Every structure is written in structure tokens, then in C-alpha cells.
Structure 1
Amino acid sequence: MNRRQLLGGLLVAGAAGSIAGCGLVDPGPSVPAVAADPLEALVTEKQTMLDLYEATLAAHRDLAARITPLRDAHREHRDALLELLDARRRAALARATPPVPGPSTGTSAAPAVSGDPASALVALRQAERTASARSRSACLAVTGAGAGAGDAAGAAERVVVLGSICAAEASHEVALA
């Protein structure tokens, strides 16, 4: 192979790479990017609340009658928020969210819970206060901008669900007092 053939081959290879880089050669099906949805953070927070309630129940079985309904409400909140996300966001969130900690998954330990039942209730009440504030902020964001709802009906549905969650979390604080 002489120098002219080598340079010609490099030129052809470079041109082919440029054409492929410009999209003239089909690289195969592409997956469109999925925009972030502000409700994703709330879904993750509800899972965190569930984990805290589960850990508290495991540490203090005597509190079960008092806190099990609150834990179940957070599960319902998480599931309602998941329903508001489109299918691609739910799938992406499921892939990004680690499994719930526990002995069967072998993942990290559950949240630390005080050995004192009264202190454990104080920690739950503080977590509820924080969750309530975040839910209120999300509700206000949805009413202000539609926050990814795509249409007025979607925004209205989000407001209704978030309003219900805000009210429930405010009552959780009272129930834990």
C-alpha cells in the first residue's frame, strides 16, 4: 500500500465518520429524553417515610395500633403520586430507586430509630412536618405553573391529590402528638 492509498483510505474513513456523526446514517432507534417531573422527589420522600414507619414499627411493636394507619396512608400517597407520573417516568423512577431495605434484599439497614417510644414518635412527628412542608410547596408549584402536568386537567388532578396529601400529613402531625 502506497502513501496515496493510505491517505485516501483515511479520508474515506473520516468522511464516513462525519456523515454518521451528523445523523445521515441511521444509528438505530433512539429513546427520547424524559423530562424530570417535580413529583418524583415526593414519590421518593413517601418511600423514605414508609421506611421510617417500618423501622419504627419493627423497633416498637407497642406503637402499631397508633402508627400503622399513618404508614398505610403514606403508602397510598406514594401510589397516588406514582399514578400521576407518566409510564416512562414511573419506569425510570423504579430503576433509580433502590429496593426497600430489609433482610430479604440484603441492602443497607433501615433508618435508625430511638429505643425510646416517645422519642421515636417525636422523630416521626418531625418527619411528618418536613414532608408536609414539601407537599405544600409541590402543591403551590403545581397551581402556579402546571409543573409538568401537560394540560389543565392534569394540573387539576395533581392539585387535588397534593391537597389531599397535605391535609393528611397535617393530621398525621396531630395524631403523633
Structure 2
Amino acid sequence: MKKAVFLHGTDGNPNDNWWSWLRKLLEENGYEIFAPTLPENHTPNKEVYDKFLKKSGWDFSDNLIIGHSSGATTALNLLTSDWFPKVKATVLLGVFLNENLLESVSWHDPGQFNNLFKPEYDISVLKDKSNKYIFVHGDNDPYCDYEDAKKLARDLEADFITIYNGHHLWSTSGIKELPELAEALNSNDLL
């Protein structure tokens, strides 16, 4: 059986946004889904998440890993962890790489993301740990820098899907489905 993991973002849960649509699409294509609610997710912490997911009992080998926002960051963090196995593919939506755009947003708490980011990602390790990368990013994401996402995608030789006027691909953007992602999954033999 094919397996997929959903990693939601800050203050989120595995039922937000387009997750329900994507879950249905994957299940219709034979996937078993692991979609945990990440602990203490207002202040994402790579060590807390790492321990939580390691103890989950889920076999991550050869999975499709899907992360949104800080969940995408969590996917990158996991892929660089020694214990985490190689996966089939990684989908990063609205990938959160730094706090550069957060200075003026009302919901951001100082220190909220101090324990999320690695200083730098080892591109060769990331390439070794996932057979394929697909990025999906709003061209006008107010929180996660579009150009930073494009640079990482180039470094990883990834597919990059731009959702025009997609914002952060969050509930406020009104996006309930991502047919562009379905097409990319299909064209990469992931459905």
C-alpha cells in the first residue's frame, strides 16, 4: 500500500484548507494517510516534532511527505534527521524558510519560531533522502518568501508550481482544491 504523511502548519490541524480534498484524492489512489495534529504547534519546535513523529509508530519509508508552511519546514527538518528514512517524494506548500516577512504581521509572537529553523539545509542530504520534490507556492505569499522558495526549489532540482494570487495557500486564500498539485502528482507517477 502507498503511504502519505500530512504535516500541517502553525496553529493548524490536518483538516484545514485543501487537506480534505487532497486526502480524498490520495485515498482514492490507494494511499494510507498519517495526518497527526502536531503538538504545541503555535510555537513549532523541530526537536518536539522530531520526538513526537519518531515515537508515532508510523513507518515513514518510501512515503509521500506533504507539508504546509511550518509543516513544510518540518518535512525538511525530518529529511535531515539521521533516523528518518528515504522517502518517495516530498511536497512543500508555502514553505517557511525564515521570518523575513513576519515583522509586521499581528499574529507573530517574538520568539515563536526560534526552535523551528535549521541554520542551513544540506542540499546533498535532502537530495539523497527524497526521490522527488514538488513546491507549491503563492506568488504573493505574505509570510513565506516566494523567491526563497524558488531558490531552494532550484537547488533541489524540484518542480515549482506557482499559484497566482494564492497568498499563503491558507483558509484566507479561499483555496479548497489544488488541481495543479494533482496534475504534478499524476505526471510524476505519484497517484
Asked whether the two chains share a fold, i.e. TM above 0.5, the reply is: no
More helix by share: 1
Larger Rg: 1
More strand by share: 2
